[in-house]
Each structure stands twice: as structure tokens, then as C-alpha cells.
Amino acid sequence: MFGIFKKKKKEEVVAFHAVAQGTVMPLESVGDGVFSGKLLGDGYAVKPETEEVYAPVTGKVVSVFPTKHAITIETAEGLEVLVHMGIDTVELKGEPFEVFVSEGQAITPETKLANMNLDKLAETNTVSTIVIVVTNMDKVSNLSTVNEHVVAASEQVTTATMA
């Protein structure tokens, strides 16, 4: 009658995790206008201390870029998540990356996606910051705030509430 007896739709919340051991930071802190300006979507970044890169969410791998610098993931809730390893790394033609996943593979935050050769990135003066972006933010009603702090790999850092 007035909707008071309708069941409320249960809010779906997706947990996001640190993709590496290091320092998590808000996207605004990333020194690249495309990411810090949120032109591709909203998310967070991790300045890695180690070479291992893990999945930020539970889902499946949609694509691995030919240059190995980026991997896209889709969650069961329909979120499209981009994991972009380093800033301006496409020019390195995949050399500093070793990818361990393939398209269609199911993953969890404990799944190692790749290794980044931090020494090679340093030699080329390439920023190693890993950016995690939800590219279809129209499906998200709220992404909880990320404050800069030290994290362990796979540690939960934020949540997205589905719209």
C-alpha cells in the first residue's frame, strides 16, 4: 500500500584489499592527473615495498593488458576493477612485470596477480605506485574514505556499497 510492508533491498558491500605490502593512499595523492582526477573512476593506490601484487577483490580476471602493466577484474556484484601497476608503465612494454593469472580465472585477495620488478622501475625512474580503480562507479553509491597508512598485502582497506 505505502511500501511499508515491502522488504528492503539488502545493501551489497564489496570489500577492497591492499594489493601489496606498503602504504595505501587516496587516489588524490597519486601524481598522475588521470588517476588523481578520477577520470577513470574512484579507488585508492598502494606504494609497494615488495614486488608481489595481489588481487584487490574476489572476482574473475577479465583481461590482462598485453604490456602486463594492468589487469581488469569483475566482481560477482558487477564491479569492474582496474589494477594499474605503476605510473606511465605502458612504455616499458611489459619488461618489469611477471603475470601469474589469465583471463577467466577466479581470484581472491590472496591470489597473487603479478610481480613488479621494483629495481627495474627505479632504474627507469618509473613510479611504482599501484592504482586500483572502480571503472563503473555508476554501480556504487558509496566508496568509504581511504586514509594514508601502512598496510600488509591483502589487508582490507575500503568498501564499496552498491547503488
Annotated catalytic residues are 84
Kindly give, in sequence order, each residue whose CB lies less than 8 Å from that of residue 10, ignoring residues fewer than 6 positions away.
Answer: none
Q: What are the start-end ranges of the H helices in the chain?
A: 33-36, 118-123
**Residue 74: exposed, middle, or buried by beta-carbon count in 10 A (0-12, 13-18, 19+)?**
middle
Extract the C-alpha cell encoding 26.
Answer: 587516496
